[in-house]
Chain A
Amino acid sequence: MHMETKQDLILKKLREIFIKITGNQNIDINLETNMQNLLEWDSLLQVILIENIEAEFHINFALGELEGLNSITNIIDFILEKTK
Chain B
Amino acid sequence: MQCSFSKASIVGVASCLPKKKVALKDQAEKLFKGDYTRISMIQKSLGWEERYVVDRDTTSLDLCYLASNHLLNYLKIDRNTIDGIISVTQTPNLSLPGNAHLLHQKLGLNSSCFAIDVLQGCTGFIYGLYLSFMMIETGANNILLCAGDTLSKVVDQTNPNLAPFFGDGGSATLITKNNSKSYFCLHSDGKGWEHLFSPKEDNNTNHGTLFMNGTQLFNESLKCESTALEELLKIAKIKVEDIKLSIFHQGNAYTINRIAKKIGLKCAPTYPTNKYANTSSASIPISLCDIATTFPNSLITNQSILFSAFGAGFSWANCFLEDSSFIGLDPIFKE
Q: Which residues of A contact B (CB under 8 A)?
A: 20-23, 35, 42-44, 46-48, 50-52, 63-64, 66-67, 70
B42–A63 CB distance below 8 A: no
| Given contact pairs A47-B255, A48-B41, A23 touches B214 in the complex (Cβ within 8 A) | no
Q: Which B residues lie within 8 Å of A23 (CB)?
A: 35, 37-38
Q: How far is the CB of A19 from chain B (nearest CB, A)?
A: 10
The verdict on B262 contacting chain A, using a C-beta distance below 8 Å, is yes
CA A66 – CA B254 in complex, angstroms? 13
Q: Which B residues lie within 8 Å of A44 (CB)?
A: 42, 46, 160-161, 214
The stretch of B121-129, B144-152, B215-223, B304-312 that contacts the partner chain: B215-223
Q: How far is the CB of A28 from chain B (nearest CB, A)?
A: 18
A48–B45 CB distance below 8 A: yes
| Given contact pairs A21-B38, A63-B262, A47 touches B213 in the complex (Cβ within 8 A) | no
| Given contact pairs A23-B38, A63-B226, A47 touches B254 in the complex (Cβ within 8 A) | yes
A66–B38 CB distance below 8 A: no
CB contact list, B133-166 vs A, under 8 A: 160-161
Chain A interface main SS type: helix
Q: How far is the CB of B103 from chain A (nearest CB, A)?
A: 35
Q: Which A residues lie within 8 Å of B41 (CB)?
A: 21, 48
CA A35 – CA B41 in complex, angstroms? 19
Q: How many A-B residue pairs have CB under 8 A?
A: 53
Of B37, B215, B223, the residue contacting A63 (CB under 8 A) is B223
CA A21 – CA B215 in complex, angstroms? 17
How many residues of chain B are within 8 Å of chain A by beta carbon?
A: 24
B45–A43 CB distance below 8 A: no
Q: Which B residues lie within 8 Å of A48 (CB)?
A: 41-42, 45-46, 254
The verdict on B279 contacting chain A, using a C-beta distance below 8 Å, is no
A66–B214 CB distance below 8 A: no
CA A35 – CA B161 in complex, angstroms? 15
Shortest Cβ distance from A64 into B: residue: B223
Query: C-beta contact mask, B226-248 vs A, less than 8 Å → 1, else 0?
Result: 10000000000000000000000
| Given contact pairs A48-B45, A51-B45, A43 touches B38 in the complex (Cβ within 8 A) | no
CA A59 – CA B219 in complex, angstroms? 18
Q: How far is the CB of B89 from chain A (nearest CB, A)?
A: 25
CB contact list, B280-300 vs A, under 8 A: none
Of B42, B218, B222, B262, the residue contacting A46 (CB under 8 A) is B218
| Given contact pairs A23-B35, A48-B45, A43 touches B254 in the complex (Cβ within 8 A) | no
Shortest Cβ distance from A63 into B: residue: B222
Q: How far is the CB of A5 from chain B (nearest CB, A)?
A: 29
Q: Which A residues lie within 8 Å of B217 (CB)?
A: 43
Q: Which A residues lie within 8 Å of B218 (CB)?
A: 43, 46-47, 66
A67–B219 CB distance below 8 A: yes
Of B214, B217, B255, most buried by chain A (CB within 10 Å of CB) is B214
B215–A46 CB distance below 8 A: yes
Q: Which A residues lie within 8 Å of B223 (CB)?
A: 63-64
A43–B37 CB distance below 8 A: no
Q: How far is the CB of A39 from chain B (nearest CB, A)?
A: 12
Q: Which A residues lie within 8 Å of B254 (CB)?
A: 47-48, 50-51
| Given contact pairs A63-B222, A63-B262, A43 touches B213 in the complex (Cβ within 8 A) | yes
